Amino acid sequence: MSAHPARTDPVGRPRLGDVLLRLGLIDHQHLAAALEARLATGGSTRLGRVVLDLGLVTDTELARALAVLHVLPLVELDPGSVDPDAARALPREVAERLVAVGFAWRGNRLAVAVADPGDSGDLVELRTRSGAEGLEVHIAPEAQILATLDAVWGAAAPGPAVRPVEAAQDDAETVLLVDRLLIDAVHARATELTVDPQRDGLHVRIRVDGVLRHLMTLPLTGAGAIVDWLKAIADLDLDETRMPQQGRAVALVQGDSVALHVATLPTVLGERVLVRLRPTSRSLPSLDSLGLSGSQQQVLLDTVGRRHGLVLAVGPVGSGRTHTLHAVLAGGIDPERSIVTLEDPVEAEIPGALQVPVDPTIGLTYAHALEAALRQRPDVVLVGDLGDRDTAPIAVRAAATDQLVLTSMLAVDASDALTRLVRLGVPASQVAAAVGLVLSQRLVRTPCPDCAVPHEPDPYLLASLWVTDPRGTWVEAHGCLACSGTGYRGRIAVVELLEIGPEVRQALVETDDEGAVRRAARAAGTRSMREQAVELARRGGTTLDEIVRAVPDDPDHSS
């Protein structure tokens, strides 16, 4: 029974339909008709647009409802009192597409009126394209905004015609735009920036706290220049557009040095560019950031204090395995021991360690690097990834006798990882003898401190998470400008710690059945990722919805 109530919106956030009902602007029957009409458009049209087009509310009524919904001030726009400089800060095409107009400058901040603030991507685009350092967002009726735009730009001026390629963007403009994209991405704490050619334009998206967010859609006319500039930053071959390429660079973004990893993928519509961003000044995480209880932390310290053994961090892509390994290395290993790390790429500087960048493109694979490193007789080896047939046997053999090996694997959970090691050709008896501890993990987003509020959890949701005791300081994420409407800022790991004891060893040696290994682990008293996450939510460290999204159900609950 892993089901939970179906939801279409972030939980707890009132919807426009609710607000329209509550303000008495619409009745249930009309709302149902509007929702149905919206569904007929594939759900892509905003409800505000639909109720307006159906004539169910006036644009003034809709503005009032949106102001209530988003907790934003309502403003009356009089074209005569609008600062033309502010109004022209946005290119006409953007202003008309997003139905927005600037009406005053307040220092470097632009006071802007929008008909519907929509998603955070629109607001980011408004800020980026206006050049403002910040926005003061207001709501105004659509007709007032359009009238103001007409007054400022002239009603007869040409519409958003496509500009010829040559005039679309000169180099300086492209550089400026790409710089702004990178600055915005870094400000938003994004780990990825993607530029995707689609039929309707170049889609720019960022990944923040593990979740993709649409930043803006740029006209295709300037696409080539933007892609070229991103490629140029990483020193890629600009003439090569039919083969994938990748390269690295370090950029200085507003005084902070940021490591960029740029990868291109040729598609039929043009090249897609993925830029991974990582601040290089990042300090090593602490053991406390793993959220383990005192006794769990002691188990971890005891294990890594031994002379040999394997400590394995497991989880899917982007589950923070490297973070965990670094936290263990920084907080659990005696700095007197000799440490070698093998990583692809080296993500953080570790004081006192010999760090080897693994690079398969030049033939330096993990297996190669590990063999070479072991010949140096280090006390501790960190192997960034164990997931291949060549590396796993060497690492396990070393951990069984001579070295403490910290490593990670792509796997759903501990039992998945252990049985996979056996399938990678490592004898089960060796796995059982070498592995001391497995840390399975997921990252959950932490509520935004500016808009999180205390919250009584839905009893049905609690029950679906197998929570019997409702006490706690649960919070709910609403979304505000500080968190771009997502309700979250930052992430934290939830870690399930499995100490490999006699029962798990026996299950491993006797059978390669994952279920048997898992049952043995549960019997050994391991607190699951779900249980860890629920305790975190009970302290207000995340939300129940985030757990449902990011942390898998316990297998013995769902089976």
Where along the sequence are the contacts to Zn ion (CB under 5 A)? 448, 450-451, 480, 482-483
**Which of 446/464 has CB closer to Zn ion?**
446
**Which of 226/483 has CB closer to Zn ion?**
483
The distance of closest approach from Cβ of residue 485 to Zn ion in the complex, given in angstroms and rounded to an integer, is 8
Give start and end residues of each alpha helix (H) in 4-105.
Answer: 16-22, 28-40, 47-53, 59-70, 84-87, 92-98
> Which uninterrupted H or E stretch holds 353?
none
Whether 532 and 291 have beta carbons less than 8 Å apart is answered as yes
**Which of 369/448 has CB closer to Zn ion?**
448
Distance between CA atoms of residues 66 and 73, nearest Å: 10
Distance between CA atoms of residues 354 and 356, nearest Å: 7
Whether 183 and 254 have beta carbons less than 8 Å apart is answered as yes
Q: In 3-state terms, what secondary structure has residue 256?
A: strand
Q: Which residue is nearest to Zn ion (CB)?
A: 448
The distance of closest approach from Cβ of residue 449 to Zn ion in the complex, given in angstroms and rounded to an integer, is 8
Is residue 345 reached through a cis peptide bond, with omega within 30 degrees of 0 on the bond before it? yes
User: Which residues are 316's β-sheet partners?
Assistant: none
The distance of closest approach from Cβ of residue 487 to Zn ion in the complex, given in angstroms and rounded to an integer, is 6
**Which of 114/483 has CB closer to Zn ion?**
483
The distance of closest approach from Cβ of residue 544 to Zn ion in the complex, given in angstroms and rounded to an integer, is 18
The distance of closest approach from Cβ of residue 137 to Zn ion in the complex, given in angstroms and rounded to an integer, is 14
The distance of closest approach from Cβ of residue 72 to Zn ion in the complex, given in angstroms and rounded to an integer, is 14
**Which of 236/451 has CB closer to Zn ion?**
451
Helices 59-70 and 142-153, interaxial angle, to 10°?
Answer: 100
The distance of closest approach from Cβ of residue 486 to Zn ion in the complex, given in angstroms and rounded to an integer, is 7
The single residue listed with the structure tokens 């993709």 is: 212
**Which of 298/473 has CB closer to Zn ion?**
473
The distance of closest approach from Cβ of residue 488 to Zn ion in the complex, given in angstroms and rounded to an integer, is 8
The distance of closest approach from Cβ of residue 533 to Zn ion in the complex, given in angstroms and rounded to an integer, is 21
**Which of 140/483 has CB closer to Zn ion?**
483
**Which of 449/470 has CB closer to Zn ion?**
449
The distance of closest approach from Cβ of residue 483 to Zn ion in the complex, given in angstroms and rounded to an integer, is 3
> Which uninterrupted H or E stretch holds 482?
none
Q: In 3-state terms, what secondary structure has residue 219?
A: coil
**Which of 157/482 has CB closer to Zn ion?**
482
Which residue, among 300, 350, 294, has the nearest Cα to 322 in the 3D structure?
350
Distance between CA atoms of residues 536 and 443, nearest Å: 12
Distance between CA atoms of residues 473 and 384, nearest Å: 37
Q: Taking phi first (over 0 means left), then psi (-120 to 50 degrees means alpha), and beta for anything else, what does residue 270 get?
A: left
Give start and end residues of each alpha helix (H) in 111-189.
Answer: 120-130, 142-153, 165-168, 171-187
Distance between CA atoms of residues 139 and 125, nearest Å: 17
Alpha carbon distances (Å) from 4 to 381, 469, 480, 549: 43, 18, 26, 11
Whether 503 and 523 have beta carbons less than 8 Å apart is answered as yes
The distance of closest approach from Cβ of residue 440 to Zn ion in the complex, given in angstroms and rounded to an integer, is 30
**Which of 418/483 has CB closer to Zn ion?**
483
Structure tokens at 62: 């809709």
The distance of closest approach from Cβ of residue 460 to Zn ion in the complex, given in angstroms and rounded to an integer, is 26
**Which of 366/474 has CB closer to Zn ion?**
474
Q: Taking phi first (over 0 means left), then psi (-120 to 50 degrees means alpha), and beta for anything else, what does residue 543 get?
A: beta
**Which of 10/393 has CB closer to Zn ion?**
10
Whether 350 and 390 have beta carbons less than 8 Å apart is answered as no
Which residue, among 321, 536, 531, 535, has the nearest Cα to 447 in the 3D structure?
536
Alpha carbon distances (Å) from 210 to 184, 282, 527: 16, 18, 24
Residue 346 phi, psi (nearest 5): -70, 115
Structure tokens at 475: 């919070």
The distance of closest approach from Cβ of residue 121 to Zn ion in the complex, given in angstroms and rounded to an integer, is 16
**Which of 407/486 has CB closer to Zn ion?**
486
Q: Radius of gyration of the chain from Cα atoms?
A: 27
Whether 128 and 94 have beta carbons less than 8 Å apart is answered as no
The distance of closest approach from Cβ of residue 451 to Zn ion in the complex, given in angstroms and rounded to an integer, is 3
**Which of 448/495 has CB closer to Zn ion?**
448
Structure tokens at 365: 């694979």
